[in-house]
Amino acid sequence: MSTLREIKAAIAALPTEERGELQDWLRTQAERPSTQPKLPDQSARRRRILGTKVLPNTVLEVRHA
């Protein structure tokens, strides 16, 4: 099943009891808060490693050479 029409047809073909179970399961999945992983602070890491140094952009230097 790859299209919405196919999915709807498959759900419509389910017996009433199984369709109810599917609706209950979908409701619980929608109510559950999504846990997004906390991303590391890359700018803090860069400051911790390099301090206030500014590194040259070597790509630009090579392009203009």
Q: Distance between CA 18 and CA 62 in Å, rounded? A: 64
Report whether pLDDT(1) > 70: no
The confidence score (pLDDT) of residue 61 equals 87
The confidence score (pLDDT) of residue 56 equals 87
Cβ–Cβ < 8 Å for 11, 22: yes
pTM: 0.44
Report whether pLDDT(32) > 80: no
Q: How many CB atoms lie within 10 A of CB 11?
A: 13
Going by C-beta distance under 8 Å and a sequence separation of 6 or more, which residues neighbour residue 7? 1
Q: Distance between CA 26 and CA 64 in Å, rounded? A: 56
Tokens of 3: 């299209």
The owner of tokens 């709807």 is 8
